Amino acid sequence: MSFLVTVFYIVVCVLLFSLAIAIHEFGHFIVALKLGLRVEAFSIGFGPVLWKRTYKGVEYRISAIPLGGYVSIPDVDPEGTKALEGERKKEKEKGGREKGVGVGEGEGEERERIPAWKEILVAVAGPAMNVVLAVVLAIALSLVPNAKFGELPAEIGGVIKDGPAAAAGMVAGDVVVSVAGHPIETWTDMQTETQISGGKETEYVVRRGEKELKLMMTPERNSVSGAYFIKAFSVTNSYKAAQWMPNRNPLKQLAWDAGSIFRILKGLVTPKEVKATAGALGGPVMIAEGLYRQVRRDIWDGIGFLRFLNVNLAVLNLLPIPVLDGGLILFSLIALVFRRRIPDFIVRNVSMVFMYALIGLMGLLIVKDSWRSWKIHTSDPVMDDWTNVVEKVEKAK
């Protein structure tokens, strides 16, 4: 019976994750059709095609690698699309056009281009649909009477003996005000800054009564999960289903999502934080595990995670990186501003380099997350659930 329950939750997670992908690609798809562009294929997943059906000239596909998806639009798609489809052929269209941006009849030859503003609209449509879905989910969650909302306060309920917090003099009742100079409002804020510290000696400012104290401590790295802990737990152990549900107000939910993402991006471009921030990043495996855990714990918290994931996809896809939507927008904006296109062979080569780099990074993250997941599931449970931490401390007294 437990096996069937597990399978059920896995199916639910696959459907939810597929929804985030499908809605993104649907944005590109529907805008391309409305603009009169020809759409060749709409795929959920990459690589070898497992199932396909053609309807009104569009081939709908389910592909073998469920790590994303794509819409094949001959006048707009980046060069990487064919590689991601698992096809290396070049099919020429009438009028000298070929499939994929930057694919000319020969090295250095240019193809006929659609207006840059159409490219921008198609590119923006994907992230825009993720935002629309996030807004719908935030509003829907706010209307659920029994959904739990709220965040843990950054107040210390207790510390574990011989841990970094205890050694630094942190005690129950302390309220964390800042970590490494970054203001702290919630327990999640403190956890984020602790991970970004990367195990370096870090200043924690706490409010104790009417005074503010500066405590220096070095978070400890857990050998199994790779996460950093100061070994202190919250003032409450009632944290059950609100990890991705900061506030019932939809706007505050979305603001929290965006703020969390931009804090990570800031860490990636800050020299002192980039190494630790990059080390804390996860790929598809970590996302899938996170979604699975939240759905099993509380379905509404799982929906909250899906809302966060959609905001995440929207922001990341708009980064000005070739092969992402933001890269196409950047190339098109250059064409609009300077009235001149970047040569196709440059777009092609740059896009291919970034595409393979992205695939390589994704592969590394999958290996890293899979190894981490295996260690967690074959070792003693990591104390990342604050209720379990409280129970362990109580037993130790």
Q: What pLDDT digit, counting tens, does each position of 233-248 carry?
A: 887 654 454 678 888 9
Mean pLDDT to the nearest integer, 378-383:
54
* pLDDT value for 391: 46
Q: To the nearest whole percent, how much of the chain has pLDDT over 70?
A: 83
* pLDDT value for 224: 74
Q: Alpha carbon of 228 to those of 66, 140, 174, 218, 364: distances in Å?
A: 30, 34, 20, 9, 21
Confidence of residue 275 (pLDDT cuts 50, 70, 90): confident
DSSP helix/strand/coil, 46: strand
Q: What is the 3-state secondary structure (H, E, C) of 360-394?
A: HHHHHHHHHHHHHHHHHHHCCCCCCCHHHHHHHHH
Task: Round to whole Å and give the CA distance between 234 and 236.
Answer: 5
* pLDDT value for 35: 92
Please tell me the CATH superfamily of domain 156-282+382-396, with its number.
Answer: PDZ domain (2.30.42.10)
Is the per-residue pLDDT at 263 higher than 60? yes
Task: Round to whole Å and give the CA distance between 339 and 369.
Answer: 45
* Nearest of 79, 81, 43, 80 to residue 60 by alpha carbon: 43
Q: Residue 308 — φ and ψ, nearest 5°?
A: -60, -40
Contact 291, 17 (CB under 8 A): yes
* pLDDT value for 222: 83
Mean pLDDT to the nearest integer, 138-167:
90
Average pLDDT over the chain, rounded to whole?
81
Mean pLDDT to the nearest integer, 189-198:
90
> pLDDT per residue over 149-160, tens digit each?
888 889 998 999
Task: Round to whole Å and give the CA distance between 1 and 72.
Answer: 42
Is the per-residue pLDDT at 379 higher than 80? no
- Indicate the helix (H) or strand (E) that contains 125: helix 116-142
Alpha-carbon dihedral 366, 372, 377, 380, rounded to 10 degrees: -170
Mean pLDDT to the nearest integer, 50-77:
83
Residues of the chain with CATH 2.30.42.10: 156-282+382-396
DSSP string, 235-271: S----SS-TT---SSHHHHHHHHHHHHHHHHHHHHST
Is the per-residue pLDDT at 388 higher than 70? no
Q: Considering only 256-270, 346-360, 364-378, which range has the smallest mean pLDDT?
A: 364-378
> pLDDT per residue over 202-238, tens digit each?
999 999 999 999 999 999 988 777 789 999 988 765 4
> pLDDT per residue over 57-69, tens digit each?
899 998 887 666 7
Mean pLDDT to the nearest integer, 15-41:
89
